[in-house]
Chain A
Amino acid sequence: MRPHARSQRPPGPRQLPLPLVSTTLFLFIVLSTLVGPLVVAHPPGTIDFSQATRPPGWEHPFGTNDLGQDMLARVLVGGRVSIGVGLGAMVISTVLGTAVGVVAGFAGGLPDALLMRLADAFLALPHLPLLLLTMMLFRDPATSLFGPEYGPFALVTLVIGGLSWMTVARLVRATALTVREMEFVVAARALGASPIRLIRVHVLPHVLSPVIVAATLSVSSAIVMESTLSFLGLGFPPDTPTWGRLLYHARDFLDIAPHMALFPGLALFLTVLSLTSMGDRLQATLEPRRVPNHRPTKVVEHS
Chain B
Amino acid sequence: MHGGGTPPPHRGCADDGRSHRSTGSNIGGNASTEGSNASTDGGDIPRTPHPAGATPVVTRSAQGGTLKLLLWQAPTILNPHLARGSKDYFASRIICEPLASYDQHGTLVPFLAADIPSLGNGDVAADGTWVIWHLKPGVTWSDGRPFTADDVLFTYEFISNPANAATSGAQYDLVEQVEVVDDHTVKVVFKEPNPAWSLPFVGPRGLIIPRPGVAPATTAVSPTQEVAEVGAEAPANPMMVGTGPYRVVSFVPGDTIVYEANPYFREPGKPFFSRVELKGGGDATLAARAVLQTGEVDFAENLQVEAQVLDQLQQTATSGQVITVSRPLVEHILINQTDPNRETSDGERSSTQFPHPFFSDKRVRQAFAYAMDRETIATQLYGANGRPTSNILVEPPIYRSPNTSYEYRLDQAAALLDEAGWVDHDGDGIRDKDGVIMHVLFQTATGSVRQKTQEIVKQSLEAIGVEVELKSIDSAAFFDNDPANPDTYSHFYADLQMFTIPYDSPDPGAYMQGWICDEITQKVNDWSANNVERWCNPAYDALYAQATREMDPEQRRQLFIQMNDLLVEDVALIPLVHRTRVSGVSNSLEGVELTPWDESVWNIQDWRRR
Binding site for B on A (CB under 8 A): 45-47, 49, 52-53, 66-67, 136, 140, 143, 148, 233, 237-239, 249, 251-253, 255-256
Closest to A49 in B: B380
In the complex, chain B residues whose CB is within 8 Å of the CB of A140: 486
A-B contact pairs, 13 of them (CB 8 A): A45-B459, A47-B455, A49-B380, A53-B308, A67-B455, A143-B469, A233-B474, A238-B470, A238-B472, A239-B455, A239-B470, A252-B305, A252-B306
Is B455 in contact with A256, judged by CB distance below 8 angstroms?
no
* Beyond A140-B486, A238-B471, 6 additional pairs, beta carbon < 8 A: A49-B376, A66-B452, A67-B456, A136-B477, A238-B454, A238-B455
Bound Cα distance A235, B452 (Å): 17
Q: Is B312 an interface residue (CB 8 A)?
A: yes
In the complex, chain B residues whose CB is within 8 Å of the CB of A46: 459
Is B470 in contact with A233, judged by CB distance below 8 angstroms?
no
Bound Cα distance A253, B307 (Å): 11
Q: Is B352 an interface residue (CB 8 A)?
A: no
Q: Which of A52, A237, A251, A253 contacts B471 (CB 8 A)?
A: A237
Closest to A45 in B: B459
Is A47 in contact with B459, judged by CB distance below 8 angstroms?
yes
Least distance between B560 CB and chain A CB atoms (Å): 35
Closest to A245 in B: B451
In the complex, chain B residues whose CB is within 8 Å of the CB of A136: 477, 487
- The A-B contact count (CB < 8 A) is 54
Closest to A237 in B: B470
Bound Cα distance A249, B450 (Å): 12
Judged by DSSP, the binding face of B is helix
Bound Cα distance A223, B442 (Å): 28
Q: Mark B583-605, 1 if CB is under 8 A from A, else 0.
A: 00000000000000000000000
Q: Is B332 an interface residue (CB 8 A)?
A: no
Is A47 in contact with B305, judged by CB distance below 8 angstroms?
no
Bound Cα distance A233, B376 (Å): 24
In the complex, chain A residues whose CB is within 8 Å of the CB of B308: 52-53, 66, 253, 256
In the complex, chain B residues whose CB is within 8 Å of the CB of A238: 451, 454-455, 470-472
Binding site for A on B (CB under 8 A): 285, 305-306, 308-309, 312, 316, 376, 380, 446, 448, 451-452, 454-456, 458-459, 469-472, 474, 477, 486-487
Least distance between A47 CB and chain B CB atoms (Å): 5
In the complex, chain B residues whose CB is within 8 Å of the CB of A49: 376, 380
Most chain-B CB neighbours within 10 Å: which of A46, A49, A66, A249?
A66
Bound Cα distance A249, B305 (Å): 12
In the complex, chain B residues whose CB is within 8 Å of the CB of A252: 285, 305-306, 309, 448
Is A239 in contact with B312, judged by CB distance below 8 angstroms?
no
Bound Cα distance A251, B487 (Å): 27
Bound Cα distance A188, B285 (Å): 67
Most chain-A CB neighbours within 10 Å: which of B454, B469, B477?
B469
Bound Cα distance A256, B314 (Å): 13
Bound Cα distance A237, B312 (Å): 28
Least distance between B289 CB and chain A CB atoms (Å): 9
Least distance between A256 CB and chain B CB atoms (Å): 6
In the complex, chain B residues whose CB is within 8 Å of the CB of A253: 308-309
Q: Which of B312, B452, B469, B487 contacts A148 (CB 8 A)?
A: B469
In the complex, chain A residues whose CB is within 8 Å of the CB of B470: 237-239
Bound Cα distance A66, B472 (Å): 19
Closest to B285 in A: A252
Bound Cα distance A53, B456 (Å): 16
Is B472 in contact with A233, judged by CB distance below 8 angstroms?
yes
In the complex, chain B residues whose CB is within 8 Å of the CB of A47: 455-456, 459
Bound Cα distance A146, B569 (Å): 38
Least distance between B67 CB and chain A CB atoms (Å): 27
Least distance between B397 CB and chain A CB atoms (Å): 29
Closest to A148 in B: B469
Bound Cα distance A237, B468 (Å): 11
Closest to A69 in B: B455
In the complex, chain B residues whose CB is within 8 Å of the CB of A45: 455, 459
Known: A49-B380, A239-B458. A256 touches B312 (CB 8 A): yes
A-B pairs, 4 with minimum CB distance: A148-B469, A252-B285, A238-B472, A238-B451
Known: A233-B446, A239-B458, A252-B306. A67 touches B469 (CB 8 A): no
In the complex, chain B residues whose CB is within 8 Å of the CB of A67: 452, 455-456
In the complex, chain A residues whose CB is within 8 Å of the CB of B471: 237-238
Closest to B313 in A: A255
In the complex, chain A residues whose CB is within 8 Å of the CB of B312: 255-256
Bound Cα distance A233, B455 (Å): 15
Least distance between B374 CB and chain A CB atoms (Å): 14
Bound Cα distance A45, B471 (Å): 16
In the complex, chain A residues whose CB is within 8 Å of the CB of B451: 238-239
Least distance between B57 CB and chain A CB atoms (Å): 45
In the complex, chain A residues whose CB is within 8 Å of the CB of B309: 252-253, 256
In the complex, chain A residues whose CB is within 8 Å of the CB of B454: 238-239
In the complex, chain B residues whose CB is within 8 Å of the CB of A148: 469
